[in-house]
Amino acid sequence: MTLKLSLVRVSLAAAVIAFAGGAALVAGQDAPPSSAEVSTTASMTLTAVADATLYADSPGSPGGSGSFLTAAYYHYDGQVSFARIFLVKFDLAALPPGAIIESAVMQLYHNSCTQPGTYPVPLGAYFVTSPWSEGSVTYATRPTWADIGINAQVGCTPGVYSGWAVTSFAQAWQGDPAHNYGVKVSGPWSDPWDYYISFNSREIYNPPQLVVTYRLPITPTPTPTRRPGTRTYLPLVMKQFAPGSAPVVLFSDNFNDGLLHGWTRNNGNWYNAGNYMRGEYATGNAWNIKDVSGNNFTYEGDLNIVSGNAVGLVFRSSADGTASYDAILDAADGVFKISKRPGYTVLASYPMTVSRNHWYSVKVVVSGTKMEGYLDGVKRLTAYDGNFSSGQFGVMLFQGAGAYDNLEARALP
C-alpha cells in the first residue's frame, strides 16, 4: 500500500483536456499530433506555512513552535507514555494562475524514531476540515478532519523523506483557499502498536514540503490562414464537431473514489491504492478488464512500471484479456509496442529506454484495422491488423507491479 516518494505523476491530465484532444486527434491525420492545449509539465516545491504537534499525552500543551512533528503511540514500562499526532498546512497561492495540478506529494523529513517498536507504521494524511492556529492549537482544541486518509508506510529510517500523494487535497486547496486547513498526520492508536517517529518541522532544516506538478493552459493561437493543399482538413474537423456530435466518452476513471467498479481481474493482485489502480503479479501476465467495450475509439491513460517488467493498455479484448490487442511499455526489453494475443505477435514497436517508477501517458487511436500508439503525446506506433474488430477495454502487467490512472475511452465516429 506504500506510495513511493518517487511515484510522482508527470503525465497528461486526461479529463481536463479530453474535449480539446479531439481536435488534435483529427488534425493528427494530416499533421503531427499536438499536445498544445496545455504546457509541458512544471513543478514547484512549497514549504509548510504552519505545523504543530498535538500531544494527547499532554492535551493542553501547544506544540506549534517545536522543532519536530511527532506521530507516536509509544509504550514505556507497559504504559502508553506518548500519544501524538500533528498538523501541517501549505499555501498554494504561489502557483501560477490557472495551473492544472497533476500531482502533489507531501514530503516529510524523518528525523528520528524510538526503538524498540513496531515499524513500519501506516501513517495517514487526513484532510482537515476546520481552522487551527499554529501558535495556539493543542490536542484539546484540535480541528476536525475527514475519516479517510492517504496512507504511507513509515519505517524506523531516519534521514529519508516519506511521501504522501495528496493530489486531491492540493486540488481542493487550490480551488478553495479559504477552507485550506491542511492535513492531520497520525498512525494507529491501539495495542500492540508501539512507535515514536519525528519529522522535521518548518522551524528547522529540511522542513515539510509539498511538491506540486502542474501544467498551464496555453492561450489558443488564432486560426491560421489555410495554406494551399490542406483541403481535407476542414471537412474532417466539421464532421467531428458538428453540433451534437461531440466525442462520446465510453468510460473514464481517475480512481479518486477509492474503488474499482466494473473491473474483472485475471491473475495477480489488483486494488485501488487511494487514487489510482495498482496491480501486482510476479510470475507472468495479469489483466484487469473493464466491463465496457468499443470498436473504434481513443483509449488513453497514465501508466507506471512501479517495478518489474511491463505494463499496458488492453483493447478490443476478451473478458479475460487473453485475446486482445495491447499497447505495452516494457522496461525489460526497452520498447513501446502494440501487440496481439493469443500467440503474442508484436505488430509495431518503438525501441526506447523505459523508466520504472515513472508515469507515462499512453494513448491508442483505433479505427478499423488501423491502430496508432502515442507516448506522452507523440505518435510512435502505427499497426494494422484485422483480427479483432471490437472488445473490452482493460490494463495488463507482466512480471512486476504496475500503476494506472486517468483511464478514458472515447468513441470515434
Stretch that binds Ca ion, among 61-69, 247-255, 297-305, 322-330 (CB under 5 A): 61-69
Residue among 24 and 137 whose Cβ is closer to Ca ion: 137
Distance in Å, CB of 51 to Ca ion, minimum: 4
Distance in Å, CB of 201 to Ca ion, minimum: 5
Among 37, 51, 326, 405, binds Ca ion (CB under 5 A): 51
By CB under 5 A, the count of residues binding Ca ion is: 3
Residue among 133 and 390 whose Cβ is closer to Ca ion: 133
- Under the criterion CB under 5 A, does residue 201 sit at the interface with Ca ion? yes
DSSP for 66-113, please give it.
-SEEEEEEEEETTEEEEEEEEEEE---TTSPTT-EEEEEEEEEEEEEE
In the bound state, the residue with its beta carbon closest to Ca ion is 51
The grid coordinates of residue 189 equal 492508536
- Under the criterion CB under 5 A, does residue 405 sit at the interface with Ca ion? no
Nearest to 143 by CA among 209, 64, 211: 64
Q: Alpha-carbon distance 339 to 112, whole Å?
A: 49
Distance in Å, CB of 253 to Ca ion, minimum: 38
Q: Alpha-carbon distance 354 to 180, whole Å?
A: 38
Residue among 16 and 49 whose Cβ is closer to Ca ion: 49
For 203, the enclosing helix (H) or strand (E) is none
Residue among 98 and 135 whose Cβ is closer to Ca ion: 135
Long-range CB contacts for residues 378-385, cutoff 8 Å, separation at least 24: 378/33, 378/35, 379/28, 379/32, 379/33, 380/336, 380/350, 380/352, 381/327, 381/336, 381/337, 381/338, 381/348, 381/349, 381/350, 382/348, 383/338, 383/347, 383/348, 384/347, 385/325, 385/340, 385/347
Residue among 88 and 306 whose Cβ is closer to Ca ion: 88
Residue 287: Cβ within 10 Å count: 29
Distance in Å, CB of 11 to Ca ion, minimum: 34
Stretch that binds Ca ion, among 78-86, 187-195, 198-206, 275-283 (CB under 5 A): 198-206
String of contacts with Ca ion for each residue 10-49, x by CB under 5 A: ----------------------------------------
Applying the rule CB under 5 A, the residues between 227 and 256 that interact with Ca ion are none
Residue 407's contacts (CB-CB under 8 Å, 6 or more residues apart) are 14, 251, 252, 253, 277, 290, 299, 300, 301, 313, 393, 395
Distance in Å, CB of 60 to Ca ion, minimum: 17
User: In DSSP terms, which residues pair with 186 in a beta bridge?
Assistant: 124
Residue among 51 and 102 whose Cβ is closer to Ca ion: 51
Among 21, 33, 62, 64, binds Ca ion (CB under 5 A): 64
Distance in Å, CB of 206 to Ca ion, minimum: 14
Stretch that binds Ca ion, among 136-144, 193-201, 233-241, 333-341 (CB under 5 A): 193-201
Site residues (CB under 5 A) for Ca ion?
A: 51, 64, 201
